[in-house]
Structure 1
Amino acid sequence: MSLDTTTTVFAAFAFIGFVLALVPFYWHYKAANTGTCLYMFWASLGCLNAFINAVVWNGNWTDHAPVWCDISTRIIVAENSAIPASTLCITRRLYHIATNTVGSKRREAIINFSVGLGLPIFNVALTYIVQGNRYYIYEDLGCWPAIITTQPTYPLFYAWPIALGLVSAGYGVATMYTFIRHRRDIHNVGSDTAMESFRLNKSLYTRLMILCCVDVTLTLPIASYIIYASTRNAYQPWVSWGFLHADFTHIYTLTASFWRTPQVWAVVEVSRWSNTLNAFVFFALFGLAQEAHLHYSLVYKYAKRLGSSWREGSSLHLSRYALLLILAGNCH
């Protein structure tokens, strides 16, 4: 078995992205930022899924784990709309902050979970209609959804990231227009309004806007290119449900020399690297910010004290600092 260098490099970046995307999760969870939490969840899950596939199928195309491939391909399908849906949740919240129409935390959480979690799951269910086989296995790539490009594939699969991206762009433009129009009010508004929250957390909201702009800017051209490339590569007219699913249980395994044509290779690489890029962009904006440094310093301080207690061999000290860690977590 000969390992592919490109796949090895990708696996390393995917694993790093999996870890980095989860670093800011705790303090965003404590702040009830469900949109950003969903974004981190999907970005990290996508990186982990790609990492496992790249490691297991680097240099081979054997069907090692059928159950895993069933799960993995559904994660890949969910990612098609998961990041755009999470971005929509973030831009929607920023818009409500700008217009001072923020609802209750419970209501916002229900809406965000319905959009950021419910829509990707619904996307997975719909995609079964145009899924010709259980899955494919590509050498060096791993499990891949067996989605047939036919007429229903466009509204059921390809259109989701574009539609969500356009809605997010609409919210983003409206948010920026509102903030600019009321920039003077931000400094004069009372403390009981949502705009005061923006004034106090201007850096956070600015970074959220940057994240949304980057995602929308990447989502629309990437999704459009994938539609274009898929239509050129393997378009098949819709015949019937029975015709499309006639050979559903068969597993196709493809060697690297077979599937790495310029068109297919470009679609696959753009698809799997985009999620890793999302994880790195998120960490750059939120894992290196000022509030992140405060949390890192707290973790370092308590870890240092815990290490001193461990060296002293005192179970009493260990219990005391374990309690301090719990209390510290509840205070932030």
Structure 2
Amino acid sequence: MPGALPFIAFPAVFLVSIPLFLHARHGNLPLISIFTWLLLNNIAYGINSVMWDGNADLKAEFWCDFTTKLKIGGDIGVPASVLALALQVYHITLQKKRLATLVEFGLCVFLPMLIMGLHIIVQGHRFDIFESFGCQPAIYVSVPSIFILDLPALLCSILASIFCTLSVINFARHRAAFTRLQAVHDRMNNGLDKSRYLRLTSVTFILGAWSATVIALTRASAYRRLQTWTTWDEVHADFLSFDGARFTLSDVPSSVLPWLYLSWLSIPISSVFAFAFLALGTEAGKEYRKYWTAIRGAGTKPGTEKNAPRPPLEGDDEDDDDIWGPVEKRSWLDVSSASTPRRDTLRMYVDRRVTLDP
């Protein structure tokens, strides 16, 4: 399997690039952050697996410094971004304003950068090199490493799954009201597309649960060799030394090797999940056809006259800041009150369109 690692990482780069391209134009920070962390880590994984295929030589030291920090950032960046996305989904079911941009930025960007910086506290030397895997972060496995590197990522993953579950529960509670409202107006499915909403909720839950599982399994193996963090000088005494920091596959204990593979594969597998749920939907297919038509020269470019969005309808709010893309507001309560369900029961459906593009 070691020789197959590049053929896993580079296709994952392609897979995650597609939803990143499709979603970037909507400015949804959590989605962009998830795809970006996955993309950068897959690129680093692919290059490392080629450079260190069949060897554990010391080379490209500055590249290793960069990619090991990138891995630390990705290990927390993906779960934290998934949590931000889960909070957005949860806010939809509560019919609240979107999550504050500062909170999103804190989870998606600031928290990973902070953890990347704090890693130095438990970084006994610059990096490790494993045959076929390449550069890996050096971690002084101790109680501080649990609180700095592991608990934040695990907590974000668990919270993401919890908020997704709460979102589904809230949605299920209002299904009857949703059905009655569709009977009032045959175009109610423009108000909330259940399949798109549930698709996004599903991928958020899966990524959160998957990240929590990987963290729990891989860290449990590492903590069997828990060390005592004494003083800064003692922990960092051999920071510039690479003695004992290079490992061939035969050097890795058979009990540890499966967890090393699982940790490496977690990023490509997360990329497959993201692609399957966010790049294979009906709306994504429409985008593909649009761009394919433009490339072939058989039609107009996306966004021009033929493919341009329809003009705003009366009652639309052009300034509404929806988290998924364009939003249309229209009130279905203009229908006679005799046939309209109670406003408080239908509060989350009556005046908001959620479009999950693509």
TM-score range (shorter-chain normalised) is 0.7 to 0.9
> 1:64 deviation in Å?
2.0
After superposition, the C-alpha distances for 1:38-79 in whole angstroms (9 at most, x for unaligned) are 111111111111111101110111222111000000011112
Q: Does 1:208 align with 2:193?
A: no
> Are residue 240 (structure 1) and residue 231 (structure 2) matched?
yes
SS in 2 for 1:133: coil
**1:132-160 deviation line (CA, Å, top 9, x unaligned):** 00001111110011101112111111112
Per the alignment, residue 317 of structure 1 pairs with none
Deviation larger for 209-218 or 279-288: 209-218
Q: Which residue of 2 aligns with 1:165?
A: 157
Larger Rg: 2
Asked if 1:49 is matched to 2:44, the reply is yes
Post-superposition CA distance 1:240-270 (Å, at most 9, x none): 11100011011222222112x1232122111
Code of the residue aligned with 1:265 in structure 2: it is L
Aligned residue for 2:59? 64
Question: Distance in 1 between the 2:181 and 2:89 partners?
Answer: 17
Change (3 A) 1:84 1:197: farther
Aligned equivalents of 2:218 and 2:90: distance in 1?
30
5+ residue gaps, structure 2: 183-187, 310-356
Partner SS state of residue 48, structure 1 = helix
Give me the whole-angstrom Cα distance separating, in 2, the residues matched to 1:20 and 1:203.
22
Identical aligned pairs, as a percentage? Answer: 24
| One-letter code aligned to 2:165 | V
| 2:259 paired residue number | 267
**How many angstroms apart in 1 are the aligned matches of 2:90 and 2:129?**
42
Pick aligned residue for 2:250 from 257, 264, 273? 257
How far 1:197 sits from its partner (Å)? 9.3
**Post-superposition CA distance 1:162-195 (Å, at most 9, x none):** 11122212212221121111223335679xxxxx
Kept after mapping to 1: 8 A contact 2:44/2:67: yes
Partner letter of residue 35 of structure 1? P
Give the distance between the partners of 1:116 and 1:305, measured in 2 at CA.
39
Match for residue 132 of structure 1?
Answer: 124
Query: Contact 2:290–2:302 (CA<8 Å) still a contact in 1?
Result: no
What does residue range 184-203 of structure 1 map to in structure 2 within 5 Å?
184-187=176-179, 199-203=191-195
Residues 79, 208 of structure 2: 8 Å contact kept: yes
The count of residues paired between Structure 1 and Structure 2 equals: 302
The residue that corresponds to 1:177 in the other structure is 169
Q: What's the counterpart of residue 314 of structure 1?
A: none
Task: String of CA shifts for 1:304-332, please: whole Å, max 9, x gaps.
Answer: 118x9xxxxxxxxxxxx7xx468589869
Residue 199 of structure 1, CA deviation: 4.2
**Contact kept in structure 2, 1:93 and 1:102, CA below 8 Å:** no
Match of 1:115 among 87, 107, 126: 107
2:11 maps to: 16
Give matches, 1:77-88, under 5 Å.
77-88=72-83
| Structure 2 CA distance for aligned equivalents of residues 27 and 172 of structure 1 | 23
2:313 alignment partner in structure 1: none
Provide the rounded CA distance (Å) in 1 between the counterparts of 2:294 and 2:227.
60
Check 1:33–1:262 CA distance in 2 against 1; reply closer, same or farther (3 A cut). Answer: same
Q: Which runs of 5+ in 1 are unaligned?
A: 1-5, 191-195, 309-320
Other structure's SS at 2:57 match = coil
**How far has the Cα of 1:30 moved from its partner?**
2.4
Query: Judging changes above 3 Å, is the alpha-carbon distance between structure 1 residues 283 and 80 closer, same or farther for their aligned structure 2 residues?
Result: same
More helix as a share of residues? 1
> Which of 108-117 and 91-100 deviates more?
108-117
SS of the residue corresponding to residue 262 of structure 1 reads coil
User: How large is the Cα RMSD of the aligned pairs?
Assistant: 2.4
Query: Does the 8 Å contact 1:198/1:205 carry over to 2?
Result: no
| Contact preservation (8 Å) 1:39, 1:86 | yes
Q: Which of 220, 228, 231 is the matching residue for 1:228?
A: 220
Aligned residue for 1:137, secondary structure, equals: strand
